Amino acid sequence: MKRPRWRIGGGVVLDPGEGTLMMGVVNATPDSFSDGGRFLSLERAVARGLRLWEQGAHLVDVGGESTRPGAREVEEGEELRRVAGVVERLAAAGVPVSINTSKPKVAERCIEAGAAVVNDVAALEADGMAGLCASAGVGVVLMHMRGNPRTMQRDPFYDDVVGEVRGYLRYRVEAAAAAGVGRRAIAVDPGIGFGKTIDHNLALLAGLPGLAAEGAPVLVGASRKAFLGALTGRSVEDRDGITAVSSGICAMYGASIVRVHDIPATRDALALADAIVRADGRK
Ligand code: PMM
C-alpha cells in the first residue's frame, strides 16, 4: 500500500514514498545540571535541532513540557518561554519545525514563530486548538492518550486496545476536519506508552497496517520508551539500537513518520526497511 503524503505548513508536502520520514526530538526544558540558566538551555536546544536536521531529520519536534508518566503540568507562560525562541531560531534557519504542545496559546505563538506542524498528544481536544490549526494551515499530529501524563500509567485497561485507539483517532480526524483542518494535513499516532502496558504497545505496533489502511499518515513515537527497556533490559541511555530496530519494523508495517531522538541509527534501519518495502512493490 502506498503511504500518503503529508501536507504541513508553508506549502510543504512531505512524501514518505521517498523514504520514511524522521521527526527528531528536541527537549526545550531548562537544564538543571548547568547554572547557565535559560540562555544556555536555549542555545543547547537550538544546536541540537540544527544537528538533527543536518543528520537528515525531515522535521524537528520542539517540546517544553515533559509528557513522561507522572510528569507535572507546566504553566503556559513558562512553556512558551522555553519553546518560542527555539522554534523561531530553527524555523529561521529553514528547519521544518513541529511544536509539541496541547495548549492553544503556545501553539499560536509558535506558529507565528514559524512552526509548520502542531504535534498534540491530546489530539486537538483543547478549546480553539483545531480552529487555530485550520486557519494557520499547519500540519497536525493527532495522538491517542488514555487520561493524562500524571495518571495514564495507573493500571490502563482496554477491552480491545487496537479497536479503541483506532476508533478514537477516527473520531478526532473527523473533529479536526469539521473544524477546517485539511485532511491531507492530518497525521495520526497510536500514542505508544501513553496509558498502555507493554502488551498494549505491542498490540498497537502489530495493528499498524490496519491503522495505516484508514488513510492518514501514521506517526509512531517509540524512541527510548520503557517497553523497549523491559524487552531488552537496557537503560534509557542505551536504547537507540532497539529504537532503530523498532523504527524499521514500523516502516515495514506502514508507518509514514517515526519520532526519534537519534537520527543516524534510525536512518540505517529505515534504509533497509524502505528498500525491502520497495522490493515488495508496496512502497
Ligand atoms: N511521545 C512523547 C512526547 N511526544 N508525541 C507524539 N506524537 N508521539 C509520541 O509517542 C510522543 C510525543 C514522549 O516521549 P519523550 O518524553 O521521550 O519525548
Dihedral in degrees, nearest 10, Cα atoms 260, 265, 269, 275:
110
Backbone angles phi and psi of 16, in degrees to 5? -65, -15
2 is catalytic: no
The full length of the chain comes to 283
Backbone angles phi and psi of 260, in degrees to 5? -135, 155
pLDDT tens column, 14-39: 999 999 999 999 999 876 555 556 77
pTM over 0.75: yes
Share of the chain above pLDDT 90, in %: 86
Section 149-159 average pLDDT: 83
- Output the average pLDDT for the chain: 94
Dihedral in degrees, nearest 10, Cα atoms 6, 166, 118, 275:
-40
pLDDT tens column, 167-204: 999 999 999 999 999 999 999 999 999 999 999 999 99
What separation in Å is there between the alpha carbon of 65 and the centre of ligand 1? 10
Cβ–ligand 1 contact at 119 (below 6 Å): yes
Burial of 157 (0-12, 13-18, 19+ CB in 10 A): exposed
225 is catalytic: yes
Candidate list 225, 234, 278, 283, residue with the active-site label: 225
Q: Which of 223, 228, 169 is nearest to 202 (CA)?
A: 228
Degrees to nearest 5, angle at CA 66 with 253 and 7: 45
SS3 content of the chain, % helix, strand, coil (to 5): 45, 15, 40
Do 60 and 52 form a contact (C-beta atoms < 8 A)?
yes
Do 57 and 23 form a contact (C-beta atoms < 8 A)?
yes
Distance CA 186, CA 98 (A): 13
239: confidence class by pLDDT, cuts 50, 70, 90: very high
Residue 219 scores a pLDDT above 80: yes
Do 236 and 230 form a contact (C-beta atoms < 8 A)?
no
Cβ–ligand 1 contact at 49 (below 6 Å): no
111: confidence class by pLDDT, cuts 50, 70, 90: very high
Cβ–ligand 1 contact at 121 (below 6 Å): yes
Domain boundaries of the chain, sorted by first residue: 7-279
Candidate list 89, 103, 146, 259, residue with the active-site label: 259
151: confidence class by pLDDT, cuts 50, 70, 90: confident
Cβ-based neighbour number of residue 196 at 10 Å: 25
User: What single-letter amino acid sits at 274?
Assistant: D
And the C-alpha cell for 258? 517515526
Show the beta-strand stretches assigned E in 65-194: 97-100, 117-120, 139-143, 186-189
Task: Give 7-279's CATH code, choosing from 3.40.190.10, 3.30.1200.10, 3.20.20.20, 3.20.20.70.
Answer: 3.20.20.20
CA distances from 219 to 23, 72, 129, 212 (A): 9, 25, 20, 10
pLDDT-wise least confident of 13-17, 41-45, 130-134, 211-215: 41-45
What separation in Å is there between the alpha carbon of 67 and the centre of ligand 1? 7
For the chain, the first-to-last Cα distance in angstroms comes to: 6
Q: Which of 20, 24, 87 is nearest to 252 (CA)?
A: 20
Given this model, what pLDDT does residue 121 score? 97
22, 48, 143, best to mutate for ligand 1 pocket (most atoms within 8 Å of CB): 143
User: What single-letter amino acid sits at 166?
Assistant: R
Cβ-based neighbour number of residue 227 at 10 Å: 20
What separation in Å is there between the alpha carbon of 272 and the centre of ligand 1? 24
